[in-house]
Chain A
Amino acid sequence: MSIRSDAYATCKSVWTSPSRDSLRSVIKKLQASESGYLAQGQHVQILGFLVVDQRKTSIEQEMQFLHIMPLEGEDRNLLSAAHRDILQLNTRCVAPLVTQLPQCAKAIDPYSRFKYELPKTPDGGVLSEEVLAKMAISFHEHPAIGVAIQSAEPSASRMTEDKYVGAVSVFYDSLIKAGAYDAPDDVKSIMLGQGKDSLPRIIVRHVAALTCIKASLCVLDQLIYQAILGNKLPLLDRNNIFEVGQLSNNLVCNGLSLSYQPSEQLLRVNVHDVVLVKMEIPGLPPVQLWHVESIHSEFSQEFGSFSRVALREVDENLNPFGHLLGGM
């Protein structure tokens, strides 16, 4: 069993959760609302809707054309309960690391950039205690946790919580900025120019491991969010792909560009979605999870409609930076 297969089991449990249907209806309703675009643009799943609701007044002052309907009490409760489950899951997943290195907790929290206090709501989320525990135990086997602990020594004593947050955030942003087809220049020079035992490399390895943990939690949370909304991951396969573009095997990950035609089965893919690609592509597994980095869509009467997506491979640990951990 891998973290990925346990994540699938977690998602399946979401489908049978009593609050799933009503939660899905609320999210669909909000997605279609005027503020839905804003909320989804935050790329923090359910928290996006809660944050927009909380900041309603200031957003309306900034964007005067926008009128945000406040969340109904029951809807807010549903969203809060589900998000609380996800927060709990994240906390338990990284417990072995945070016990040893408490000052890194905020840095690896996918939601730490938002100051949002969840209202006290009755129970009724989407993950049972049993599912939470099982998923957390599985995540404890994430190789990045071991790497982060082993490489903590030279830096941990000098790193405050804020420094951790800054280091992980800067490193994460540099990986995203470099895109799915390349590694940042700094990463290349460290990996190719510094010995494995050199101090700079150990420090970067430590930050890289924490970044991988954060990124894996992001993928796990995204999978759960998508499981609330649907029973299947978006599938890109021979029935919608018409061109395999760039394929990159770089120091950070595998990157892939695909062009696909929207269909009834696959109307829309969003940035940050996790998709399943089922296709024989040399050098890649025939079925694999990928994280959507960017989308370019076109529609015209002359050429019809299609989208081109840039994808980053998600490995069996749900890590979208899988090569980084092994090479660092």
Chain B
Amino acid sequence: MSNAVYINSENPTKDQWKLLAQYAYPTNIVRYLQQHGFAGSEKLVEYIAGCFRQSEAYFTAAEESPVDISPLLQYYGAVTLLAGASALVQGGQLPIKGHGMALNAIDIKRVADAQVTPRRNGALQQFAGIFAPGCLFVNGEPWTLEEIFGSIPDLKRDFEGCYQQAVPYTVPVEIVKRDGGSLERIAIEELGRFRAPDDALANVENLRQSYLVPQLTSQYVILRRKIGAPEIGIYSLFNEKHLQIAHSKRGQKLTPGQATSMFMGMYSLGFLSRYHPEFWNRFVRSDQTGELLLVEKFIAVCQRYFPNLVLNEIQKSRIQFVNKTKGILDLSAPPATGPATKPAAKNTARD
């Protein structure tokens, strides 16, 4: 989603829920449904309103709870929010029966080793059909939590620090705007865990359709967008663009998207804490590896960003909360910084 909408906010978490809370009111729900060509029965409207209200309550409860139980509350918040949002954007309640995934955490040593196995029919696949179109989970093929953590842009640094050998599933891209046309570039060091830059890029879905042939320099992989091509990639909480590396499952390449990956992660942690207290209690109380820091960061990122991602899907734009001074339109030349250098003098003269 490339059409970014910037909203000034001192408290993005609170303000995203204010925007989502619109859909807890029948008038707004009916208006949204009508704008999108849906009639919407009274029952549907109440269902949507209830989902949005409950979801906020679960997320608020998760925020105020210790890590012993917060993952489960957060998952309930997430699944309820997706149920309501799906009904809103689809104009009808999804026939959901079950979570659509199962957790296997027997004899695991690390949280990262827990496996979640998607089922083709269930909440996960149905939500993915709306929030990650084209992602058809392969029935019975497990995903490790390591893979899921590695797919979240905001966890990349912590992920690579925590799991020394693990290969990430997201690569940060720097957008450079220049007079000669903008470009995107990946720093070579960001690809250090892949055998070669090509290994990473070959697994980015639709890369060829969106970009010209990548150029490799000693410092960067240079990517230039094809004219008129749709944008691919996702954005971190702090507006950093990332390309997603597809997961290979039985020869099929899957890119579930950020919200779906988070949803799978929240399910895994929620059920790990709920149904494997013997593991979770020891982990929370006496983790020796630092993995707890990563898990806490995952929970924090989901708490802040997951509702934002769902809001983006509802409003079909990328809502970015910023904190900037308003009311000043500065059209003057940029001030010279430090001693007058040739480039600064040139820019000033041109401007």
Contact = CB atoms under 8 A, between A and B. Distances in A.
Chain B binding site: helix, strand, loop or mixed by DSSP? Answer: loop
A185 interface: no
Interface string A52-74: 00000000000000000000000
A259 B181 contact: yes
A101 B176 CA distance: 58
Contacts of B181: 242-243, 259, 306
Given A301-B219, A304-B220, A304-B222, A243 B227 contact: yes
Contact of A242 (B176, B218, B220, B227): B227
A239 B219 CA distance: 24
Contacts of A303: 176, 178, 183, 185, 222
Nearest to A241: B227
Contacts of B185: 302-304
B300 interface: no
Interface stretch (B76-84, B101-109, B209-217): B209-217
Interface string A203-245: 0000000000000000000000000000000000011111110
Contact of B225 (A242, A279, A298, A305): A242
Interface residues of A, number: 21
Contact of B226 (A239, A259, A305): A239
Contacts of A259: 180-181
A278 to B, nearest CB: 12
Interface in B226-260: 226-229
Contacts of B218: 301
B215 A279 contact: no
A238 B180 contact: no
A303 B215 CA distance: 9
A244 B215 contact: no
B219 A302 contact: yes
A238 B219 contact: no
Contacts of A305: 215
A243 B213 contact: no
Contacts, number: 57
Contacts of B212: 239-240, 242, 261, 263
Interface string B260-300: 00000000000000000000000000000000000000000
A103 B99 CA distance: 90
A308 B180 contact: yes
A259 B222 CA distance: 15
A238 B212 CA distance: 8
A300 B185 CA distance: 13
Which of B185, B212, B219 has the most C-beta atoms of chain A within 10 angstroms of its own C-beta?
A: B212
A279 B227 contact: yes
Given A240-B212, A259-B180, A298-B180, A306 B226 contact: no
Interface string B191-230: 0000000000000000000001101011110101111110
B332 to A, nearest CB: 27
Interface string B38-54: 00000000000000000
Nearest to A305: B215
Nearest to B225: A242
Interface string A81-123: 0000000000000000000000000000000000000000000
A300 B217 CA distance: 8
Which of A241, A280, A306, A308 has the most C-beta atoms of chain B within 10 angstroms of its own C-beta?
A: A306
B2 to A, nearest CB: 16
Contact of B217 (A240, A298, A304, A306): A304
Contacts of A242: 181, 183, 212, 224-227
Nearest to A281: B227
A302 B220 contact: yes
Nearest to A239: B212
Interface string B64-91: 0000000000000000000000000000
A261 B219 contact: no
Contacts of A244: 227
Nearest to A265: B213
A306 B224 contact: yes
Given A240-B212, A242-B224, A306 B180 contact: yes
A301 to B, nearest CB: 4
Contacts of A243: 180-181, 227
Nearest to A260: B212
Nearest to B229: A238
Contact of B215 (A239, A241, A261): A261
A306 B218 CA distance: 16
B218 to A, nearest CB: 5
Nearest to A261: B212
Contacts of A240: 212
Nearest to A300: B217
Which are the 7 A-B pairs with shortest beta-carbon distances? A304-B222, A243-B181, A304-B215, A242-B224, A301-B217, A301-B219, A259-B181
Given A238-B227, A242-B181, 16 more contacts: A238-B226, A239-B213, A239-B226, A242-B226, A243-B180, A243-B227, A259-B180, A261-B215, A263-B212, A280-B228, A301-B220, A302-B219, A303-B222, A304-B215, A304-B217, A304-B222
Interface of A: 238-244, 259, 261, 263, 279-280, 298, 300-306, 308
24 contacts: A238-B226, A238-B227, A238-B228, A241-B227, A242-B181, A242-B183, A242-B212, A242-B224, A243-B180, A243-B181, A243-B227, A244-B227, A259-B181, A261-B213, A261-B224, A301-B218, A301-B220, A302-B219, A302-B220, A303-B176, A303-B178, A303-B183, A306-B180, A306-B181
